[in-house]
Amino acid sequence: MYKLIIRPIFFIFDPEKIHHFTFSLVKFLSKIPFIPSLFRGLYQVNDKKLERNLFGLTFKNPVGLAAGFDKNAVLYNELADFGFGFVEIGTVTPKGQAGNPKKRLFRLKDDQGIINRMGFNNEGLATAIEQLKKNKGKIILGGNIGKNTNTAPEDYTEDYVECFKGLHPYVDYFVLNVSCPNVGSHAKLDDVDYLKELITEVQKLNNQESVQRPILLKIAPDLNNQQLDEIIELVAETKIDGVIASNTSVNREGLKASKERLEEIGNGGLSGQPVKERSTKVIKYLADNSNKAFPIIGVGGIHSEKDALEKLDAGADLVQIYTGFIYEGPSLVKRINKAILAKS
């Protein structure tokens, strides 16, 4: 029904407008008494065998919604009814910011991909906290945090620290997003020495809290093997709890979209089917070359149950979807969970 009726209608309209429309629609529908249980009946797969225990948390199933979908933490309670094992909110920055000028979100239909240069558009930490106070406790929540675009390099750490402190009471795990290609100069966030400093600072704060939250690092799919070796070393040294691989890509190789179309779109992060293989390779490299020393959340181009199983086989402990959710609809979550069950 989604691919046959809903998607063709949605895809007539501007992607960003449809994103907001879908949010309003799901919010509205979820207020009708029987609808949430209808969604649960349609999309949830409840089976103990799907449970995953990772960094001290019990995930009902290993399929999560990736960051960037619910940036302001306004829909996670409703999204819990769609069968996810966890939802990652954000990226949240200390101050609200508009992000890059529109248009900034583009579908590549022939490639089953998306290019976005949203630029961390979000309403900021205070608004996210207000939304998180409404948590009905139905699902594990990740808090994906970043820096404001106009923050000076010497203040980057302060931005992450502020978000970490603010969200600590409200989320179950944290993600330090250091790999978004859309937020200006990236030199410092690519520097492993700086990442060590950042992670250490956030861990120091974590240790001062009565409860310690797992902290993960989200990396780009465009890192070469030497950079991935550095990430493995960084995880070993800092003992950060895990890695999310991966974010969107700046690479445009092998796309069906014409050169003219890509030029017209311009800069941005590519997601969906075109990043699938690269992201799986990154996961496999990290798992094999660290002797599977740390948990990995695998994300990038999962549009089918087969794609998800490939990520798990490559060494991912959990998976996340974003672009596949747009192209395939909510039944994808159920299909993946069923496939994982069938294999267990």
Ligand X SMILES: Cc1cc2nc3c(=O)[nH]c(=O)nc-3n(C[C@H](O)[C@H](O)[C@H](O)COP(=O)(O)O)c2cc1C
Is 120 annotated in a binding site? The answer is yes
- Give long-range contacts, CB 8 A cutoff, 24+ apart: 41-49: 42/330, 42/331, 42/334, 43/81, 43/82, 43/83, 43/330, 43/331, 43/333, 43/334, 44/81, 44/82, 44/83, 44/334, 45/83, 45/334, 45/337, 45/338, 45/341, 47/337, 47/341, 49/341, 49/344
Distances (CA, A) of 290 to 118, 218, 231, 309, 342: 33, 17, 10, 21, 29
Is 83 annotated in a binding site? The answer is no
Q: Which is nearer to ligand X, 36 or 312 (CB)?
A: 312
Of the residues 66, 167, 180, 287, only one is catalytic, namely: 180
Distance of closest approach, residue 105 Cβ to ligand X, in angstroms: 6
Residue for token pair 């999310």: 244
Residue 72 in the binding site for ligand X (CB under 6 A): no
Name the residue number minimizing CB distance to ligand X.
68
Which of 62, 83, 85, 301 forms a contact with ligand X (CB under 6 A)?
Answer: 301
Residue 240 in the binding site for ligand X (CB under 6 A): no
Is residue 163 part of the annotated active site? The answer reads no
Which of 299, 314, 316, 336 forms a contact with ligand X (CB under 6 A)?
Answer: 299
Residue 174 in the binding site for ligand X (CB under 6 A): no
Q: Which of 267, 317, 324 is nearest to 51 (CA)?
A: 317
According to DSSP, residue 249 is labeled B
Distance of closest approach, residue 255 Cβ to ligand X, in angstroms: 14
Is 24 annotated in a binding site? The answer is no
HSE value, Cβ hemisphere, 13 Å, CA-based, for 295: 20
Touching ligand X, residues 197-226 (CB under 6 A): 218
Touching ligand X, residues 131-150 (CB under 6 A): 144
Q: What distance in Å separates the CA atoms of residue 287 and residue 75, rounded to the nearest whole number?
A: 33
Is 144 annotated in a binding site? The answer is yes
Using left for φ > 0, alpha for ψ between -120 and 50, and beta otherwise, residue 154 falls in alpha
Q: Which is nearer to ligand X, 20 or 204 (CB)?
A: 20
Distance of closest approach, residue 77 Cβ to ligand X, in angstroms: 19
User: For the chain, how many residues are written?
Assistant: 344
Q: Which is nearer to ligand X, 214 or 324 (CB)?
A: 324
Residue 271 in the binding site for ligand X (CB under 6 A): yes
Measured between alpha carbons, how far apart are the two ends of the chain, in Å?
A: 29
Residue 248 in the binding site for ligand X (CB under 6 A): yes
Is 272 annotated in a binding site? The answer is yes
Residue 116 in the binding site for ligand X (CB under 6 A): yes
Residue 322 in the binding site for ligand X (CB under 6 A): yes
Q: What distance in Å separates the CA atoms of residue 213 and residue 236, rounded to the nearest whole number?
A: 18
What is the binding site for ligand X (CB under 6 A)? 66-68, 71, 90-91, 105, 114, 116, 118, 120, 144, 177, 180, 218, 247-248, 271-272, 275, 299-302, 321-324
Catalytic residue set: 180
**Which residues are annotated binding-site positions for FMN?**
67-71, 91, 144, 177, 218, 246, 272, 301, 322-323
